[in-house]
Chains A and B, each alone.
Chain A
Amino acid sequence: MASALETLMELRDDPYSRARAWKERTGGSVVGFFCCYAPEELLHAAGALPVRVTGENRTVSKAGAHLQSYCCSLARTALDMALTGDLDFLDGTVFVHTCDTMQRLSDIWRLNAGYPFHVDFALPVRFEGKLAAEYTRAELGLVRSKLAHALGQFDDDAIRESIRVYNRNRALLTELYDLRRADPGIMPCDQAVWVVASAALMDKAEHNEILEEILSDLRGASGRSDRIRLFGVGSVMDQWEFLGMLEDLGGTFADDDFCTGHRYFEGDVSEEGDPLDALTGRLMERGQCACKHTPDRERSARIVQRARACGARGAIFFQFKFCEPHGFDYPAIKKALDEAGFATLELEMEQGSVSIEQLRTRVEALLETIRG
């Protein structure tokens, strides 16, 4: 029988196979979302299976008619998947108000993708202060009522139960990252990042069970410790071949700030009191992405602190081509990392046209620089 980890790794070749099987088995609704700010707990409480869509490595055929070529490949390939019917298991989609492209993609998606329901979750740009919290709380209430209308009513207890399932998932993923920070050799980074990404592609309770098994194997394990530890910065990380190459060249991400990595699971939701207040609390307190602004909690300082904490000697930035928010954040973060003595490397890429060999030279040069 395949191990828990093998079961998860198989999913990498066909990321939506579990969602399809879940739908067939339960007859429930599958709801797509794009961003780690999406209110997954509410979807879960409504009895739906939230599934994250992050585009894929493909050549765009139908999306080109709706999105300009200067939109990022996440938006272009995801829309293409919808328009070519590859996401036909979806019953609806939840969009979150983040970057300009995602806001406009929401409209294009609503008009062209043709799924039964469509919800926008508007968030404040500046995630600080009482006003932002009140606004976020009100929006969560609105999303809740829209979901209830589309999927059926659900009460506070259902949300509290979903919060518990999701908190458990976050705690297990946090433990995985803690174990890897102490000894990254116990699991290659391409697997670790996939373990996180897969959490958004299947039933959470099932993912929790798989994680328990994986962690019971990893606790007390020891791995190769001679790899150069690096810190990854970016949004979606789905370039598995690249991560495999990084490991082959003797480097590894000991921790990251990817939105399909650490940002996905950081921060707990209180299991006490009003569940929407609790969800608001996490959204306000968690480490924010480049689309959001937290004047009192600089993203660059947090990244430097976390890079230090995992023993990284360098950092790699993954810039999606045409991604403005992360492009705007890059100079400040690079400067902070440079000043703190980290070697840095910026890699620009887009899904569908990643040339591993061209990236190899840059990564090797970074590792040579660190080795001295």
Chain B
Amino acid sequence: MPVAGVDIGSLTAKAVVLQGREVLSTSLTQTGHNSRVAGRRALDMALDRMGLDEGSLGFIVATGYGRTAADFAGERITEITCHARGANRTHPEARTVIDLGGQDSKAIAIDERGKVLDFVMNDKCSAGTGRFLEVMASALEVELDDLGSLSLESTSPASISSVCTVFAESEVVSRVAEGAPKVDIIAGIHQAIASRIYAMAARIPTNEALIITGGVARNIGVVRALEQKFDTRIVVPEMPQHMGALGAAIIAGEHHE
């Protein structure tokens, strides 16, 4: 019997329907103002794709910051545990998960079974998050999805000292006024994020087997800057945004058994 994991994040809600180890269907939708409705919508979208209905599911686990609102779920598990389990399923060699989400960032140390050993989380400041990048993209008048590839064209990244969204925005505006090329400014932003994430991750035991999850993982510029900072290759899974939902679905499967 299929099971589902629903990850209701601050910006997007994701669902994964799983049968055994096979991913049957996934979905992604904006969270908007109502976590419960968004989670429900994500679940329905994933089910529709397979022509399934909720009755055909063995168990549902909700995760993400909106998990408490998910009254349709049998259990609620934190995204820290779920990202760890999801990352462990697709990349069993991973021992450190860097999750860069819409409004918070986390570093999670895990063992060979995907069990969380230690974690650190930053949700007081938006540095390194999707929201931060949205603000920067808008300040520079580029598409969010283009930030990554544009930054790779930079030969001399601009210096962005602040990682506070508000101050960084005014710093970016100053760099623009100075005539710095956009690509260099974007590369500078990515380096500032990488420094911040690196400093946060240093509070827990990390090792070289790094995997990055969350929406920001889709930005290749941030990934490259992090690789430089951590001095190691970082694995980007096929569906980084769905790792939390995948982990939730894996736990749902265990419940169903």
Q: Which of B78, B80, B117, B119 has the most CB of A within 10 A?
A: B78
CA distance A343 to B119 in the complex (A): 10
Partner of A361, one of B65, B115, B116, B124: B65
Instruction: Say yes or no for A364: interface residue by CB 8 A criterion.
Output: yes
A365 touches B118 (CB 8 A): no
Task: Specify the chain B residue showing the minimal Cβ separation from A372.
Answer: B115
Contact B118 A368 (CB under 8 A): no
In the complex, the answer to whether B115 meets A369 with C-beta atoms within 8 Å is: yes
The 8 Å CB contact of B78, one of A338, A343, A364, is: A364
How far apart are the CA atoms of A364 and B119 in the complex, in Å?
12
Residues on B with beta carbons closer than 8 Å to the beta carbon of A3: none
Chain B contact residues: helix, strand, loop or mixed: mixed
The chain A residue with its CB closest to the CB of B116 is: A369
| B99-118 contact mask (Cβ, 8 Å, vs A): 1 or 0 | 00000000000000001111
CB distance from B84 to the nearest CB of A (A): 9
When distances are taken between beta carbons in the complex, the residues of chain A under 8 Å from B203 are 346
The distance in angstroms between the C-alpha atoms of A71 and B123, with both chains bound, is 21
Within 8 A of A (CB), among B113-160: 115-121, 123-124
Q: Tell whether, in the assembled complex, residue B119 and residue A365 are in contact, meaning their CB atoms are under 8 Å apart.
A: yes
How near does chain A come to B104, taking the closest CB pair, in angstroms? 8
Of B65, B79, B81, B120, which contacts A369 at CB under 8 A? B81
Q: Roughly how many angstroms separate A343 CA and B121 CA in the complex, as a whole number?
A: 15
- Asked whether, in the complex, the Cβ of A361 is within 8 Å of the Cβ of B121, the reply is yes
A216 at the interface (CB under 8 A from B): no
Cβ of B173 within 8 Å of any chain A Cβ, yes or no, is: no
A361 → B minimal CB distance (Å):
5
Contact between chains at B115 and A362 (CB < 8 Å)? no
Within 8 A of B (CB), among A314-372: 338, 343-344, 346, 348, 357-358, 361-362, 364-365, 368-369, 372
| 16 A/B residue pairs, CB under 8 Å, sorted by A | A338-B118, A346-B120, A358-B123, A358-B124, A361-B79, A361-B80, A362-B80, A365-B81, A365-B116, A365-B119, A368-B81, A368-B116, A369-B81, A369-B115, A369-B117, A369-B119
Q: Which residues of A contact B (CB under 8 A)?
A: 338, 343-344, 346, 348, 357-358, 361-362, 364-365, 368-369, 372
Chain B residues with a Cβ under 8 A of chain A: 65, 77-81, 115-121, 123-124, 203
